[in-house]
Amino acid sequence: MYKDIFESIRNEAEKRNLRERTIQLYCSDVSYFLRWIGKNVSDLTLEDAESFLTAKRLEGRSPETHNHYRSAIKFLYKKVLKTVWDDDISRTNMTIHVRETKGRIDRYTILSQKNLDLLTEYWYD
């Protein structure tokens, strides 16, 4: 059912030279997430990911397992679905995390209120 998603995960992971075991775990964790949510991939929201991760934490999953789920789901959203993951933007500090800037360095930069409002409108409308 999700064969094309797993192929996309594999392609994106291979571009980043991830190990085969990491790719397998990502596919397994994403499969579990998608079955748990029960939605079409095109209908996924960031709230779905957050509710899954919260539920797994409250079930008493180990921190290591929780981190595996989080990494796999974050990879799915950011690299496959091309969705901005919430921890890239700090609403309280008004900053945005920009990855691989000049010199291939990650940086934080100032985010204006106007741009934050535009991003919020884009995501939630």
DSSP for 9-62 reads HHHHHHHTT--HHHHHHHHHHHHHHHHHHT--GGG--HHHHHHHHHHHHHTT--
In this model, does residue 76 exceed pLDDT 70?
Answer: yes
Q: Give the pTM.
A: 0.72
Structural domain span for residue 96: 90-124
Query: Do 118 and 60 share a structural domain?
Result: no
Q: Tokens 């596919």, residue?
A: 27
Model pLDDT, residue 14: 95
Nearest to 107 by CA among 122, 125, 88: 88
Query: Do 79 and 29 share a structural domain?
Result: yes
Average pLDDT along the chain: 87
Helix (H) or strand (E) holding 116: helix 113-124
Query: Do 107 and 59 share a structural domain?
Result: no
Query: Do 55 and 113 share a structural domain?
Result: no
Give the CATH number, domain containing residue 8: 1.10.150.130
Structural domain total, the chain = 2
Question: What number is the average pLDDT over the span 48-69?
Answer: 91
Query: Do 114 and 64 share a structural domain?
Result: no
Model pLDDT, residue 102: 74
* % the chain with pLDDT above 90: 50
Query: Do 77 and 101 share a structural domain?
Result: no
Query: Do 11 and 69 share a structural domain?
Result: yes
Nearest to 27 by CA among 47, 8, 43: 8
Query: Do 105 and 58 share a structural domain?
Result: no
